[in-house]
Structure 1
Amino acid sequence: MTSLSRRALLGAMLSSFALPLQASAPATSLRPRLRPDGVAEPPTVQDLVDAAGVSGISSLAVARLGSTEPLESVAADAPLPPASVGKTLTALYALAVLGPQHRFATRVLGTGTLANGRLDGDLILVGGGDPGLDTADLADLAGKLKAAGLREVRGRFLYYGGALPEARLIDADQPDHVGYNPGVSALSLNYNRVHFEWKRQADKWAVTMDARTRDYRPDVTIARMQVVDRSAPIYTYADRQGRDDWTVAQGALGNGGARWLPVRRPAAYAAEVFATMARANGIVLDTPEEARSLPATSELARHESRPLVEIAKLMLYYSNNLTAELLGLSASAARGGKPASIRDSAQAMSDWARATHGLRDVAMVDHSGLGDASRFPAADLVRLLADRQVHATLKPLLKDIDVKDDEGRPMSAPGFEVAAKTGTLNFVSGLAGYVVRPDGDDLAFAVVSGDLPRRASLSRAERERPRGGRAWTARARGLQQDCLKRWGALKAQG
């Protein structure tokens, strides 16, 4: 269908129809009230789906708050992956289990006595699942040790990230080098990414790998990079001798640049950086060793995260995958002990959602939505979002979404607002949240599109920038915008 016919559909929709908001509805689009004789009925929501031209399946639903049934829907029970829209469930799960004021603690423990500036025992860096821990926080932690009088450690320097399941990556189907798919550990640092920078010097390149924040740039050896004379592939990765070994194609570097690469050994990465920060404070530590369990210890220093509710808001805004995994794993551990894996914890979260919120078909394989084997139908998304308590908890945490005209420009006064979570994978696009109406009668909605056969046909190398992916996503997002304008124009009745 042409863009002209799509515009005609939207014009008719926005100018002419009123849809009664009632508690129950058929499984397909409601029929709007008839206009005076001789005037054609406005387009249905199915017409919008047809006009969008999105290959695969588009699944959508909208409901009034407090209702368990949609006002209108299309293929609402289709089992599609939610992508990052699934983080809405993770946020609710963590907030319900841990509480909005929960803080994650990163601790430094000692196994012996501290006297006259000397610790006669081992020093242990212990992760508590803080997703926002960064190099500056470790510098602050090392400073607290110095302030406590520590000058010398006679024993080993150990690190422990085993309070939660550890994994080398979140989703094995992603390209090796994408920073949004790092390792996972209760001891994590800088969102488990290392900063790779290169500068051309004559016919060679100077390469650095560091754990930078605004004020610190400590070099690391846990991740190494070698420039190789080739044109492709751009990156290769190998797990070698306890380190992340990377190579990069010389032909892709140009004169200089930088990017973040994922860290596969987060706890070891954090320990190496902490040793550097301790050395800067006059405390020399041995080469870090991993602790498999925690012995009897005393606490020497700690760093606490910001409150969970703030972390959840940042997670939903920036859609950080590591944060979602650590929040979900921490909630599962608090409910029933340390889960066996990310997948095991995600299943526990899905079970909780079914028991607590009456969801029917949700089946997550992780907490971030990165894995395309997760399933979260639009009907379940809307059933969750339409819960008034969920609305009160989640709506203040969601990002404001622009309502755009047919040229893709933000509308200055659409007459309503949208607070929602986006989600994108290759050939999967979703948007779910609330149409915020000036009369206070907000609507919960979800629109998810997916062409799963097309996604499944991609090789790992193609998944960063697949051919046709941008055009497909643009059409899917166009459908989302069309639905928002339709639902924002609904007139409450009764």
Structure 2
Amino acid sequence: MRDGLDRRAFLAGLGALAGTQAAAAPPAASLRPLARRAGLGPAPPGAEALIAEARLRGTVALGLADVATGRMLETVRPGAALPPASTAKAITALYALDALGPAHRFETRVLAAGELRDGVLKGDLILAGGGDPTLDTDGLAALVEGLQAAGLRAVEGRLRVWAGALPAARAIDAGQPAHVSYNPAVSGLNLNFNRVHFGWARAGADYEVTLQARTARYRPDVRIARMQIADRRSPVYTYEDRAGRDHWTVARGALGAEGARWLPVRRPALYAGEVFQRLAEVAGLRLPAPEAAAALPGGTTTLARRESAPLREILRDMLDYSTNLTAEVAGLAATAAQGARAATLAESGAEMARWAAGALGMESCRFVDHSGLGDASRVTATEMARAMVAAERAGGVRALLEDYDVRDARGRPMRDAPFEVRAKTGTLHFVSALTGYLSVPGGRTLGFAILTGDVAHRETLTRAQLDRPPGARAWAGRSRRLQSALLRRWAQVHSA
């Protein structure tokens, strides 16, 4: 199995799939399982029986397809469109690999806009982002080292930061609670997944707090975010955009003796510029406070550059850790590479939906972003299963997916199961999804999607309730048990 996705092979694979669409069409009703051959025990309950047993409020939809033939083997509610949650990242990975190629690397540069003479820059220094979602404080430190190697000792002009390689968004989903780190800003210049590390420790009757651009090697304090402890028990956090900074308060009653958490950053380019300035100062290079640059001037010289890992490695980590920022950057970059104009995440998501309709047969899908965080995205389980078939034929996404631990009827991981599942999970409150591949004894590979959602109940939740709504954990547990039950059933019924 190849680690990436070759565009020519991908398109050829889709062409081959087009000839099987009649066979791939879903049946009008779910197929009944065939009787198992002697020695393997009776057939398990049907999918509808398992769904009824799960007592899961809301809608359950599923699709199961044979990768070799494209034939849809089983469906439940094939027309039900539900939020894909983070399983959307599997489609984003295919979109980015097709548009950018598996070897694509994001580049961050430090540019000189002026003459460099005897170690002194007679002009501006520009930190120019290329969208890299993996840039961290260590990477900025490496760029500072590059400036030292280039002989830069002083800058007479400004320090400017440019983030115009990609459209900017102050948050992925405006409906999320303000403090959740998985909903940061997005821009063409990102740092530490656009998060700041908030730490606290009791000091006498009060607390010492830190806000840092923390990595394993560096812990520079930041000024673009501020934290104040408030004498209250709730809400735990409040946020205000004030005087060009992120102003946070935290409830004293919610703090223990010590602790830490990541908070989102809303001005990622200036955040990166501030940390860059601080690292340069420690290295002996004094720079002014960073300013945003609306455009890159002509005639610049590159003094230092940093390249990301290849896209296929970035996407593997994205699918493993379900990193929302990485998904948004990959999707935005793919849209730009296709020559489409998209000023917002929603517009770029719409471009991905158009691509998925043509390339994967997902004719009714809707994407409002690339990470699945926005719950207004919609897919059907049948289309997602068919997309897995198309991707597998093109050598696409299976190698990037993680092994998924199916659990037995008692909730224990089936470590020695005679089948393999590689899949992407997706979870929002009262939404749970799983899509990927099931390899069963006999060498058969099946593409599947299981979508569950109590969308009506989710829509009643306030923004504050989206943090920890009552009943959400129990609902998600029932959904995961149903997913394992379906996978166990399919592995038994469809083994050779």
1:28 counterpart = 2:29: yes
Q: Which amino acid aligns with 1:156?
A: R
Q: CA deviation at 1:491?
A: 3.6
Contact kept, 8 Å, 2:61 with 2:77, in 1: the verdict is yes
Q: Which residue of 1 aligns with 2:321?
A: 318
SS of the residue corresponding to residue 51 of structure 1 reads helix
Contact kept, 8 Å, 2:171 with 2:186, in 1: the verdict is yes
Aligned-residue identity in percent: 53
1:143 counterpart = 2:126: no
Q: Which residue of 2 aligns with 1:9?
A: none
Q: Which residue of 2 aligns with 1:108?
A: 110
TM-score, scaled to structure 1:
0.92
Q: Quick one: distance in 2 between partners of 1:285 and 1:337? A: 37
Q: Which residue of 1 aligns with 2:472?
A: 469
SS of the residue corresponding to residue 62 of structure 2 reads strand
Name structure 1 gaps, 5 residues minimum: 1-21
Q: Which residue of 2 aligns with 1:488?
A: 491
1:236-283 C-alpha deviation (Å, 9 max, x unpaired): 000001100000001111211100000011111000000111112211
1:241 counterpart = 2:243: yes
Q: Which residue of 2 aligns with 1:293?
A: 295
Q: CA deviation at 1:354?
A: 0.7
Q: Quick one: distance in 2 between partners of 1:90 and 1:220? A: 32
Q: Which amino acid aligns with 1:154?
A: E
Q: Quick one: distance in 2 between partners of 1:454 and 1:169? A: 24
Q: Quick one: distance in 2 between partners of 1:23 and 1:365? A: 27
1:429-465 C-alpha deviation (Å, 9 max, x unpaired): 0000000224221000000100011101111111111
TM-score, scaled to structure 2:
0.92
Q: Which amino acid aligns with 2:75?
A: S
Q: 1:197-276 to 2 correspondence within 5 Å?
A: 197-276=199-278
- Evaluate the alpha carbon distance shift between residue 203 and residue 356 of structure 1 in structure 2; reply closer, same or farther with a 3 A threshold: same
Aligned residue among 381, 384, 388 for 2:387: 384
Aligned residue among 355, 360, 374 for 2:377: 374
Contact kept, 8 Å, 2:67 with 2:392, in 1: the verdict is no
- Evaluate the alpha carbon distance shift between residue 266 and residue 90 of structure 1 in structure 2; reply closer, same or farther with a 3 A threshold: same
Q: Which amino acid aligns with 2:248?
A: W
Q: Which amino acid aligns with 2:27?
A: P
Contact kept, 8 Å, 1:384 with 1:390, in 2: the verdict is no
My pick for the range that moved more, 264-273 or 63-72, is: 63-72
Q: Quick one: distance in 2 between partners of 1:236 and 1:189? A: 23
Contact kept, 8 Å, 1:185 with 1:266, in 2: the verdict is yes
Q: Quick one: distance in 1 between partners of 2:92 and 2:36? A: 44
1:339 counterpart = 2:342: yes
My pick for the range that moved more, 213-222 or 404-413, is: 404-413
Contact kept, 8 Å, 2:441 with 2:495, in 1: the verdict is no
Q: Which residue of 2 aligns with 1:125?
A: 127
Q: Quick one: distance in 2 between partners of 1:35 and 1:149? A: 74
My pick for the range that moved more, 61-70 or 374-383, is: 61-70
Q: Which amino acid aligns with 1:45?
A: A
Q: CA deviation at 1:360?
A: 1.4
Q: CA deviation at 1:76?
A: 2.1
Say how many residue pairs are matched.
470
Aligned residue among 455, 458, 468 for 1:455: 458
Question: RMSD of the alignment, in Å?
Answer: 1.7
Q: CA deviation at 1:212?
A: 0.4
1:105-158 C-alpha deviation (Å, 9 max, x unpaired): 000011111121011110000110101000000000001001110000011100
1:418 counterpart = 2:421: yes
- Evaluate the alpha carbon distance shift between residue 415 and residue 237 of structure 1 in structure 2; reply closer, same or farther with a 3 A threshold: same
Q: Which amino acid aligns with 1:50?
A: A
- Evaluate the alpha carbon distance shift between residue 163 and residue 92 of structure 1 in structure 2; reply closer, same or farther with a 3 A threshold: same
Q: Quick one: distance in 1 between partners of 2:249 and 2:140? A: 29
- Evaluate the alpha carbon distance shift between residue 322 and residue 473 of structure 1 in structure 2; reply closer, same or farther with a 3 A threshold: same
Q: Quick one: distance in 1 between partners of 2:462 and 2:123? A: 51
- Evaluate the alpha carbon distance shift between residue 485 and residue 118 of structure 1 in structure 2; reply closer, same or farther with a 3 A threshold: same
Name structure 2 gaps, 5 residues minimum: 1-22
Q: Which amino acid aligns with 2:97?
A: L
Q: Quick one: distance in 2 between partners of 1:350 and 1:205? A: 48
Q: Which amino acid aligns with 2:423?
A: A
Q: Quick one: distance in 2 between partners of 1:49 and 1:319? A: 27
Q: CA deviation at 1:412?
A: 2.9
Contact kept, 8 Å, 2:68 with 2:445, in 1: the verdict is no
SS of the residue corresponding to residue 182 of structure 1 reads coil
